[in-house]
Structure 1
């Protein structure tokens, strides 16, 4: 889906709803923020989240993906002009959500050869005096590969499912929790760069936080959540399912079978393939990825057709909203209930 068309549609929607929210500004990406949904937007909720009036809409997830996966950002390759625009967009959304930077700024900088790269790190202090020193990381990578194999004169690998989708979830969750403040433990929201180059951003941050000796409880990573399964009895899978009780606890906290084990993910060793893994290595704690795509239900991995119009935003909103009470519960339990299985 071309960004210009989505922009025009968005402006029309704002006019129709007489909205005063900010629209996408292609001339200055740092001014882009997620618009507030109107009462007509699709809202997917879960029974577990029924006590909260605030929910995450398919509309806000879609708008994030359409910006990040637009042709203007040219595939968000690390060190490129496109990923700089994506970083400005993320920073501005963190600011709009009143999320504080964890470091002096949101940028956690590192080098990839001669290229400058940076993770974006925001922090929400816990609301429980006894638990606030313990940290939960909620992450996703916002980079992609830039260009791919040319198909029908198109060479931009837009990276909608991989991983503008996961990025949209993290931004929406950051906004949700800064507004509701229903977190007992502290939440660190991280968008990683250079994942496609070998998890370089997450390796950098994991090592950095390890030297700070933070009290990390667990790391939840969102990766490729843009398409649903049609042949499973769960909505998403947890990588490394057998390594910890995270999957069991997620289902317990959600009150439904939200996640399960993907044998295909095991076959492809997806546990080692995303930004959860460096935290597992550095801290020896449950650090796992939540995904609804194990490469069996989407044909456009690292493909120029991985565009915003391929994704199912109702599915995404449903999954993210069902994760809200899970994250709340993870942050509020008196003890750290999610644990690695003993070998």
Structure 2
């Protein structure tokens, strides 16, 4: 597909209502459908299209194949005053993770810190939406998850660890953006390779190896091979860390046992690990916010290297993209709209609107 292919612009409210309707038509509760739809659209607004509403057809396929329960509700067990465990009961990962973060922030309001582990869950999209949930509650947060095999352990050639995102965040001050880090331990997120495959595009040759261990720019060959960890052994170690906290500790699958969102062979059994921390534990909230302002200003005001016009705080580019797309709409290509509307036709839901840019 050519890079200049026309984009179909969809308003975020229309996208959110459309996804909610699709999910409710499969038996997802109105509340849970809203959580999923908001998180997916938030990814599209922030420019993280690999984790946006284009994930919906794969989710619905998992429902049709009986490996994801659309009617499942997450259940919470209070382990200690500051620790909870959520069982996703093989439902959507979004409401399970939302419930965990909600519990963590509530505990943190009283005790200064709250922690929740999630087991028997599924893919929960872009981790940054959970970080923002914590920021909206005035909290610092850590958000870990494991995922299906995609990376080799350093020195190996077979898939074992997931491309599991490391995410954390903190509220900003009066003159600074919030700090939001959401990154995969691989050179690129695997969702970006799926997106390139959907769009008929090539990928950079430093993202992945094919099944023979050769670098490739073909997304299909990349998905049949392995992702490359960022920083070599360092990225591999970070992926293992995600498995320790999200899989081993939570009681969910680990060591290559997670089933991916595009795999119809069985339940995902994904694990998550979530921590919320009150930012005024060691100083007043005003002092914390002022210190975040200083950090922000020193980062973005650093002397620029040659060829750089602006320095951004982590998460700031996505925030600016969201502000623009809230005004202008979210761009999709025709193939993506067609795939979504095929699901709408199958479920008897009104199709998503089309406005060519």
Asked if TM exceeds 0.5, the reply is no
TM-score, normalization: structure 2?
0.29
TM-score, normalization: structure 1?
0.30
- Structure possessing the higher radius of gyration over alpha carbons: 2
